[in-house]
Amino acid sequence: MVDDVFFDLLHHEMVNVFTGVPCNEASAEMNVSKLEQIGFMTGYRLSEKATKDCQRFKDELDVMKFICKEFWSSLFKKQIDNLRTNHQGVYVLLDNKFRFLTQITTSKQYMEILPKYLAFTCGLIRGALSNLGVVSVVTGEVVQSPSCRFQVQVQRS
Amino acid sequence: MSRSTVRTGDTKKVSSDLFALTYGSLVSQMLKDSDNPEEVNKQLDRMGYNIGLRLVEDFLAKTSTPRCLDFKDVAEKLQTAFKMYAGINPSVVNWSSSSDEFSLILDNNPLIEYVELPDHLSNLKYCNIIPGIIRGALEMVQIEVTAWFVQDYLKGDSTTELRVKFIKKLEEALPPGED
């Protein structure tokens, strides 16, 4: 069993390494996408283990519910607080107390540096969905720390 | 059968899965960025160092442990810390005659749970974050050490052995700087 503090510090350090000193805007973006990629790989593999005893999912909404409940609680020990959808492939997941943000700040002062702490988790969601057959684009947005919103846009071919 | 009943007892396990897989993805991303495994070793060590600097605060706060009296004491505290943070219960062996060097045997290391090292990465020290953490954490309590792997399970050895060597006592706490 690995302690949560240890994981939080690893995440923090990962964010530091990949987004530490951006030389310019392009490379900063590139580095955030690496963080997202790490999340993707992790989420992809985790969902495989997490669903091994599950029944088959009925539809896309069922998959999303799984992500919001079981998957999220296995990662962050709480469920997503609110899930909304327009029934056309856009889902909005609201977490009122996002773990990585509660460890950092709850003030408005550092709003502009907070998005990079969401990149890894965006990747986690995208990776898990992708392994469950849903191709998507996931973006994160801080509403007011520690509350944040993840938007999942399902890509249909 | 509802899905949620299946997984509730499993939360502790997931945390170490999450950690192991995140760490694995991190290392593989670093290897993509840099062709040189030595470079990755160095970077992992630095990350570990930074984590260690902070982790020691948490450790001291949670255990309210007093100052270490000697290096044997340090070894014991490290044992406790490994158990607390990584669920590893290392044994302390191979003390040098002057008691300034010992080895930690890391069995059941959660970091390497799903890992297989390909042959061309024989230079990679996969778990190199651990010596970094030890170095960083001990530096914060004014003990300078070096730590390195002498045996690695991932490289075909029967066990993972981490050697820790006492260098000196830091008299005045210097501000921690980047290497």
CATH number at residue B73: 3.30.1380.20
Asked if residue B3 is part of any domain, the answer here is no
Residues in chain A with CB shorter than 8 Å from the CB of B11 are 73-74, 77
pLDDT value of position A55: 82
Structural domain tally of chain B? 1
The mean pLDDT of A73-91, rounded to a whole number, is: 92
Dmax (CA) of chain A = 48
Do the Cβ atoms of A128 and A71 come closer than 8 Å?
Answer: yes
Q: Do B15 and A4 touch (CB under 8 A)?
A: yes
- Mutation site for B-interface testing, chosen from A1, A62, A126 by largest number of B Cβ within 10 Å: A1
Largest CA distance in chain B: 62
Query: Greater confidence, A151 or B1?
Result: A151
Q: Which domains does chain A have, with CATH numbers?
A: 2-154 (3.30.1380.20)
| Chain A closest-CA separation from residue B72 CA (Å) | 25
Q: Across the strands, what pairs with A85?
A: A91
Among B1, B4, B12, the residue with its CB nearest the CB of A1 is B12
B92-118: per-residue pLDDT in tens?
Answer: 999 999 989 999 999 888 888 888 888
pLDDT band at A54 (very low <50, low <70, confident <90, very high): confident
Q: What is the pLDDT of residue B178?
A: 57
Tell me how close the Cα of A10 comes to any Cα of chain B, in angstroms: 7
pLDDT band at B170; cut points 50, 70, 90: confident
Q: Helix or strand or coil: residue B148?
A: strand
* Mean pLDDT along residues A58-68: 92
In a domain, B13, yes or no: no
Which residue reads 């390494």 in tokens? A17
Task: Write the DSSP string, chain A.
Answer: ---HHHHHHHHHHHHHHHHS--SSHHHHHHHHHHHHHHHHHHHHHHHHHHTTTPPPP-SHHHHHHHIIIIIHHHHHSS--SEEEE-SSSEEEEEETT-HHHHTT--SSTTGGGGGGGTHHHHHHHHHHHHHTT--EEEEEEEEETTEEEEEEEE---
Task: Flag whether B128 is in a domain.
Answer: yes
pLDDT score recorded for residue B82? 93
Average pLDDT, chain B: 87
Residue scoring higher pLDDT (B166 or B3) = B166
Q: What is the dihedral of CA A97, A98, A104, A110, to 10 degrees?
A: -90
Determine the distance in angstroms separating the CA of B96 from the nearest CA of chain A, rounded to an integer: 30
Q: Is the peptide bond before B176 cis (omega within 30 degrees of 0)?
A: no
Q: How far is B11 from chain A (nearest CA, A)?
A: 6
- Spatial separation of the C-alpha atoms in residues B65 and A72, rounded to whole Å: 35
* Residue of chain B whose alpha carbon sits nearest to that of A69: B4
Mean pLDDT along residues A118-142: 94
Nearest to A6 by CA among B1, B154, B62, B64: B62
Residues of chain A whose beta carbon is less than 8 angstroms from a beta carbon of chain B are: 1-7, 9-11, 13-14, 16-17, 34, 37-39, 41-42, 45-46, 49-50, 53-55, 66, 69-70, 73-75, 77, 120
Least confident range of A105-109, A122-126, B146-150: A105-109
Kindly indicate the confidence band of residue B67, based on its pLDDT and cuts at 50, 70 and 90: confident
Predicted pLDDT at A105: 82
**Chain A residues close to B23, C-beta within 8 Å:** 10
Q: What's the CA gap between B20 and A55, in Å, rounded?
A: 26
The answer to whether position B68 is within a domain reads yes
Asked if residues B157 and B96 have their Cβ atoms less than 8 Å apart, the reply is: no
The answer on pLDDT for B8 being more than 50 is no
Mean pLDDT in residue range A108-114: 84
* Nearest C-alpha in B relative to A7: B19
pLDDT exceeds 70 at position A21: no
Would you state the pLDDT for residue B179? 55
Residue B11's pLDDT band (cuts 50, 70, 90): low
Q: Given this model, what pLDDT does residue B16 score? A: 85
* Record: contact B18-A7, CB cut-off 8 A: yes
Are the Cβ atoms of B29 and A70 closer than 8 angstroms?
A: no
Q: What is the pLDDT of residue B9?
A: 44
pLDDT at residue A22 tops 80 = no
Interchain pair A7, B50: CB under 8 A: no
Looking at residues A25-46, what average pLDDT do you find? 87
- CA of B126 to nearest chain A CA: how many angstroms apart? 15
Task: Tell me the C-alpha distance between B108 and B159, whole Å.
Answer: 10
pLDDT for B154 beyond 80: yes
pLDDT on residue A24 = 67
* Residue-range definition of the domain harbouring residue B141: 36-169
The predicted complex's ipTM stands at 0.90
Mean pLDDT, residues A76-99: 93
| Contact across the interface for A2 and B7, Cβ inside 8 Å | no
